[in-house]
Structure 1
Amino acid sequence: MVSEISESQCAAVESPHLHLDGTEPLAHIAVDYCPEACHHAPASREIHVTYDHRGGARWRSRRRFLPGGAIAATIRAPAGDTAGLNYNLYLSSLEGSRDMDEIDFEFLGHDKCAVQTNFHVAGGGGREQIHRIPFDSSDGFHHYAITWGAEAIEWRIDGELIRREERLAGEPWPEKPMFLYASVWDASHINEGKWTA
């Protein structure tokens, strides 16, 4: 569960209560940076990521996913003042690569009653949408799911469809195998602080 620790922010992922067909718990993860700020408890199916004086942390699945499947997690966003932070759950062919494909759920620290969805193809984004949600994402656990196929992407919260993108003829589409990632990081410098602060 999420608890606010002095001078830190935590985000947690636990096992989904709404299982999508074919999804299964992650038994193993890799931590890309700051492993001391990421705790994985496979027995309880929980992952806690903390943001504090060390910065944040990012974990990822050890295997990549292909179109035709779904990822899902039950997430409680960090409590307290999170202005400037970005906490997220996303698929990416390789974080930081200039030609990455990516599909996102992003929580923007200044507004806990909204979530941003986006997808990138070969490094190109610009498909962001902000969605108002009828709850404070730090008050309790909610279920977030992305279904990704060759013809459509769907984003769901607590089983409700909030966005569907269909592939258009001749338009680029995310097709690269992707890792599942989640992180908490300081995004207060992005867009002169307007994005998350």
Structure 2
Amino acid sequence: MRSTTTHRHRPALRRRLMVTAFLVALVAAPALATPAQAAIGGSFVDNLDGFATSRWHKANGYSNGGMFNSGWRADHVWHSGGVMGINLDNYGCPSGCSGKPYASGEYRSNDMYSYGRYEVRMKAARGGSGTVTSFFTYTGPSDGQPWDEIDIEILGKNTWQMQTNYYTNGVGGHEKLIDLGFDAAAGYHTYAFEWWNGGTINWFVDGRLVHQENGSRGKLPTHPGRIMMNLWPGTGVDSWLGPFSYNGQRQATYDWVKYTRY
């Protein structure tokens, strides 16, 4: 099936909440290495068969606050059967979830990565509205840099679509919804983006180009960032994610991650 794209701006409230969320995270999160200390990573393939501590770390013991309605817990990121999984549940909450009603996980690269091709094979969480399954790059004040970000997001309210976005120096509002032609929560598919120096960002699904940004809607990111994967429930952003209603554990799984430096 040929893909189609539609454009939708999130409300200004969502962008204000996002800024608040990251500012809260900067206070609560452990200090990260600055770019001068963190390596600029080279090409790699990680089959996610186990926790490679030389490449990754698990967010633990804090919450991004704002619209993020879960606390990050390292025990909610696991490796088994050749895949990595992230659980979203309410076990031990709120006392063990940074005061939030739910717990979930985030996997973050130790190094920073610059221009290149970023690929992941993943299966999104199912279970209805209110959640985000993601693969993205991020850097910001915690890294001593401006907030730059490139996103692949599957929203639980419609797992037949992928949302793309990017932020440059904290300015977002570049969302696109891509009709996938399949249910991203029903099986594994390969999602990717190419970030070219000064030129374009191209997004792919199963090797097929589905969207391109060339800077005409706003300057593209320029700062190297960390590779991240997470699953989280929203609060106060029903107009974007839809309402979240907990009916048991939800789970996203990741088969492999690949980065090719350009």
Match of 1:144 in 2: 191
CA RMSD of aligned residues (A): 2.1
List alignment gaps of at least 5 residues for structure 2: 1-42, 60-71, 91-101, 243-262
- Could you tell me how far 1:178 is from its partner in structure 2? 0.6
Give the SS at the match of 2:172: coil
Answer yes or no: is 1:77 the counterpart of 2:159. no
| Pair 96,123 (structure 1): closer, same or farther in 2 beyond 3 Å | farther
Answer yes or no: is 1:30 the counterpart of 2:31. no
* Equivalent residue letter for 1:149: W
* Equivalent residue letter for 1:163: H
Answer yes or no: is 1:153 the counterpart of 2:201. yes
| Pair 88,82 (structure 1): closer, same or farther in 2 beyond 3 Å | same
Superposed CA deviations along residues 16-64 of structure 1, whole A, max 9, x for unmatched, are: xxxxxx55226432111310100145x93x2210100042211111111
Superposed CA deviations along residues 61-88 of structure 1, whole A, max 9, x for unmatched, are: 1111012x11111010113x23111111
Contact map agreement 2:214 2:220 (CA 8 A) in 1: no
- Could you tell me how far 1:109 is from its partner in structure 2? 1.0
TM-score (norm 1): 0.78
- Could you tell me how far 1:173 is from its partner in structure 2? 2.2
* Structure with greater Cα Rg: 2
Q: Distance in 1 between matches of 2:139 and 2:178?
A: 24
Give the SS at the match of 1:30: strand
Give the SS at the match of 1:194: helix
Superposed CA deviations along residues 86-121 of structure 1, whole A, max 9, x for unmatched, are: 111101114888931000011111101011000110
Q: Distance in 1 between matches of 2:131 and 2:86?
A: 12
Give the SS at the match of 2:45: coil
List alignment gaps of at least 5 residues for structure 1: 1-21
Q: Distance in 2 between matches of 1:161 and 1:118?
A: 15
The structure with the largest strand share of the pair is: 1
Match of 1:50 in 2: 87
Answer yes or no: is 1:164 the counterpart of 2:209. no
Q: How many residues align?
A: 168
Q: Percent identity?
A: 24
